[in-house]
Structure 1
Amino acid sequence: MDTSEKQESPEFVQTSLAGAMALGLEPGSFYRNAYPGSLNLLMTYQSGCRANCSYCGLARERKAKPDENTFIRVKWPMYQVTDIIDILARPRQEIAMKVQRLGRICISMITHPQAPGDCVSLVRRFSGAISMPISVLVSPTVLPDAGAFFQELRAAGADCVGVAIDAATPELFAAMRGPAVAGPHRWETYWAAVKEAVRVFGRDHVSVHLIVGLGETEQDMVKTIGQVSDAGAQVHLFSFCPEPGSFLSNHKPPSYGQYRRIQLAAYLFNNNQITQSAFQFDSKGKIVSFGQPLEELLGADLAQGNPFMTSGCPNREGCVACNRPYGNERPGPNLRNYPFLPEEHDMNTIKGQIWND
C-alpha cells in the first residue's frame, strides 16, 4: 500500500472484520462456521461522516477511546479497492472456500458530499471486474437528485438499494438523527428516497433498515414495517446494541421477546402474509396477537426458524447473502439474528422467548 496516497474512497474502502477474514486479509475463525455471504464495504473519508446519529460508531461527535474506534462494535480495516478486486477476480479454483461463499457485495455510503459520485465509480469498478450482484446502502441526505442518482447506480451495475431509516417514528428519527443531535438527516428525505428507489429498481429490490429498541413501541414498529411493505420495499431488521462512546452507549438493548415478535412481524410483511389490521396490541403497544396462531400463519417456516435468520439482500440463487454474522451481539448461545438456520436447540430457546420478556 502506498502510504503517500490519500486513503479515501473511491480508491480505498473499509471492510467489515468478517469480510476481511473471508478475504484472507485478517486472521480469525467463524463461530459455528457462520461464514459471511456478503462482502460489506464502507466508504471512507479523512474528514469522516457529517452525520451525528446518537447510536452510531461513525457519529461526528462520538467520544470513543482509541481501542473503541469501531463501527457496529468491531474494527473495519481499510484496503485498496484494487487489492480486493484482485482477490475476488481470481479463478474460482484458486480462491479460498471462505471467498467462494461470498454471494454479494454491499457498498455503504457515509454522509459526505463526495460519496454519491464516488459510490457510482465503485459500483462500476466492481461490476466490471466481478460477476457478483451489488447492493448499495445509500445516504439520502447527500443526494441532490435521488431519482437521477438511482438511475446512475442501476446503469453502473447495482441491482439492490438499501435505505437505513433505522428509527420507527418521525419523532425518534428527529431525536436520534436530526435536529435534536445537530444531525442533517430528515425523515421526509429518507422516505422520499425509498419511493424513488422502488420506482427505479422495482418492488422488493429495495430494503429499509430498522433498528428495534430505540424507544419505540411494538405498535410503532409494526406500523412502520407496514408502511415499508406498502411502499414496495423489504424490511431488514436490526436489534439495538450500544456502541461505546456514542450518545446511546448506556441505552439497553430490547428484550429478546420484543425482538422476536418484531422479527415475526417483519417476516410476515416481507412475505405478504399479514396486514396491519391483523395485529392486536395491549395498552403499552406490545403485540399480544398476530390474528391467528403463529403455527397456522407460518407453518414450516416457523418450525425451521426462517423468521429468526438475518434478513438481507439475496445472492443469485435467491437465498440471503447478507447474513452479517454476529452484527447484533457477540458470538455466543443467545443470538438475535441467526446467520444460519437455527438448529433444534436454538429453536427451543427461541420458542421460549417469543412471549416471554
Structure 2
Amino acid sequence: MTGEHCARDCAFCAQARSSRGRAHRLSRVIWPPFPAGEVLPRLGDACRAGRIRRACFQVVHSEDYFHRVRQAIAEVRREVDIPLCVSIGLRTVEQVRELLEAGVDVVGLPLDAVTPQLYRDVKGGNWERHLRLLQEAAARFPGRVGTHLIIGLGESEEEAIRLIGELAACGIGVALFAFTPLPGTRLEHHRPPDLRTYRRVQAAHYLLKRGLVRPGGMKFKDGRLVDWGISREELVLYLADGEAFRTTGCPDCNRPYYNERPGKTPYNYPRPLKPREAAEAVGLVVED
C-alpha cells in the first residue's frame, strides 16, 4: 500500500477522509509499515523461491500519489522481475499508458459501486465518467485493464450482473469483493451481502466471462436472478468444479480473508474448493 490517509471519502473504506477507523487497514487486511530496503530484497527472495507470483500496489489517493507509485514500481523492477498490478484512481488513459510502460501488466481502476446513484452516495463523483475511462482504456490496451466491484452496497443482483456482462463484453477484468463493514467508517453498521446472492453473482460472472450464458438470455424478478437461460443440468455441470467461487482479479490473486473471518464460509475461496465446498456453493446458486 502506497500513500497516506486518502483525500477521497468512500463510505466503506478505513482510509477515507472522514474515517475514524484504524488507518493501517484496507478491508480486513492490516498493512503495517516496513522500510522499502527491508521489503524489496525479501520480495525478490520469495519470488525466486516461487512463494510469491505477483505483487499488487494498492494506491491511496494522497498528495503526489501518481509520482510516488511510479517510484515504487521502479524500485521493485530494479530488484525483481515479477508480474505487477496496480489498483489506483486515475483520470486519463494517458496515465494508464504511463503505468503500463513503467512495467505494470494490469492496471485496476476500481469502480466499486455498480450504479451511478450508489457511486454518488458511497464514493462521490461521476460513475459514468469512470466507466467511460475504463472502456476507453480497455479498448486501447486489451487484456491489461480491470476493475473492482463490491457486492452488497445496496444494488440488486440484476444491476450487478448486467454491469458485469457489459464489462466482460469490453474485455475488462472484474475482481468481485463482498462488502465488509469496518469500524469507524460511514458504513460500519451496514450488513455484508447474503451468501446466496453473492454466489449467484459469482456464478454469473464466471459464466458470462466464458461465454457460457448470454446477458440477454437471463431473466430477473424483483431484481433477483431467476432464469439463467440454460438448463439446470448445464448450470450444475459448468459450476461443479467450484472455480466460479474462487477469488477473482488478476492472475494468481487470492486475497485470503480479505472479506471474511477465519472459521466462516469464504465469500471468495483463495484456493481450489474441496468437493463438499463446491457442492455447497452450487447448491446455493441453483436453489429455488
Tell whether the 8 Å contact from 1:257 to 1:355 is kept in structure 2 after alignment.
no
**Is the Cα–Cα contact under 8 Å of residues 127 and 134 in structure 1 kept in the other structure?**
no
The aligned amino acid for 2:133 is: A
2:6 aligned to 46, 49, 55, which one?
Answer: 49
1:20 is matched with which residue?
A: none
Q: 1:356 to 1:253 in 2, by over 3 A?
A: farther
Return the alpha-carbon distance in structure 2 between the equivalents of residues 80 and 193 of structure 1.
Answer: 34
Pick aligned residue for 2:107 from 144, 161, 168: 161
1:1-357 aligned within 5 A: 42-45=1-4, 48-64=5-21, 70-90=25-45, 100-140=50-90, 143=91, 146-178=92-124, 185-202=125-142, 204-282=143-221, 284-297=222-235, 299=237, 301-314=238-251, 321-355=252-286
Matching residue's letter, 1:116: F
List gaps (5 residues or longer) in structure 1.
Answer: 1-41, 179-184, 315-320
C-alpha distance in 2 between matches for 1:346 and 1:353: 11
- Structure 1 distance, partners of 2:118, 2:156, is 11
SS of the residue 1:90 aligns to = helix
Write the letter of the residue equivalent to 1:166. Answer: D
Superposition CA RMSD, Å: 2.1
**Whole-angstrom distance in 1 between the partners of 2:24 and 2:68:** 24
CA displacement 1:279-302 (0-9 Å, x = unmatched):
1111x1100111113542573x51
C-alpha displacement at 1:226, in angstroms? 1.6
Aligned CA distance change for structure 1 residues 322 and 294 (closer, same or farther; 3 Å): farther
Query: How many pairs align?
Result: 288
User: TM-score normalised to the size of structure 1?
Assistant: 0.75
CA distance in 2, matches of 1:43, 1:91: 20
Secondary structure of the structure 2 residue equivalent to 1:79: coil
Cα deviation 1:77-114 (Å, max 9, x = unaligned): 11122221111223877x5xxxx321111112222241
The answer to whether the Cα contact below 8 Å between 1:164 and 1:208 also exists between their aligned partners in 2 is yes
Deviation at 1:344, TM superposition (A): 1.8
CA distance in 1, matches of 2:285, 2:234: 16
Residue segments in structure 2 that go unaligned for 5+ positions in a row: none
3-state SS, counterpart of residue 73 of structure 2: helix
User: 1:223-245 CA deviation, whole Å, 9 max, x = no partner?
Assistant: 11122112221211111111111
Counterpart Cα distance in 2 of 1:294 and 1:338:
24
The verdict on how the C-alpha distance between 1:88 and 1:70 changes in structure 2, with shifts beyond 3 A counting, is closer
Q: TM-score, normalised by structure 2?
A: 0.93
Question: Match of 2:29, SS?
Answer: coil
Please tell me the residue identity of whatever aligns with 1:287. Answer: L
1:115 Cα offset (Å) = 1.0
Percent identity, aligned pairs only?
32
Shift of 1:72: 0.8
Q: 1:294 to 1:313 in 2, by over 3 A?
A: farther
Q: Which whole-Å CA distance do the structure 2 matches of 1:239 and 1:276 have between them?
A: 22
Which amino acid in the other structure matches residue 277 of structure 2?
A: D
SS in 1 for 2:109: strand
TM-fit CA distance, 1:347? 2.0
Q: Judge conservation of contact 1:219–1:285 (CA < 8 Å) in 2.
A: yes
The one-letter code sitting in structure 2 at the alignment partner of 1:233 is I
- AA aligned to 2:132 is A
